[in-house]
Structure 1
Amino acid sequence: MQVFKIRPFTFKDRASFRALFDDAFVNEVADWTNNVYGGLTIDAKRVAYVHGSVDPWHALGMTATEDDDAPAIFIEAHVCVVSAKGDGVVGYEKKDF
């Protein structure tokens, strides 16, 4: 099973929660989560995994699959404001930062 790697995220968590999140605890709950939900080898159908390159959480998501019934869509994205109009048309406005 391919699993999520969490080590880069523990420093920030430890600063926020001190001793509650030591390495042993984080590794234990990460192993549990990967076992229950399948890590990066999720057995799912009729699901689309959509991520944008500016999403800070895309590193923890499915950005590539070989399954036509569960495709991964990775968008090289700009930060934008997405809104739905009353006529059902979705529009966006690009924001440059």
Structure 2
Amino acid sequence: MATCGRKTANLVLGLGFKIPSICVDTHVHRISNRLGWIRTRTPEQSEESLKIFFPKLYWIELNTILVTFGQNICLPVSPKCSRCAVLKFCKRIKVGISR
């Protein structure tokens, strides 16, 4: 799509047209690295790494799940680790202080 960025284009492809794509925003990038699924520096690198990590079946819903999780539990600063359902699987990469 010529008039929008990669993130928006992938969101439209996935949610609008059901074409498997991974929409990587700040939450998806941060959480995927924090959990230790991938080790990337940019959203573009995260998208490519997540395509390898997850089967296509999960690509479309990944953004919605991780954005909600990132807004409510896995916050950028002082995440609510004590309320996290996946804490025992989390590598807590770059987590300083948590609640």
TM-score w.r.t. structure 2 length? 0.32
Kindly indicate which of the two structures has a greater share of residues assigned to strand: 1
Which structure's CA Rg is the greater one? 1
- Asked which structure has the greater RCO (Cα within 8 Å, sep 6+), the reply is 2
Kindly indicate which of the two structures has a greater share of residues assigned to helix: 2
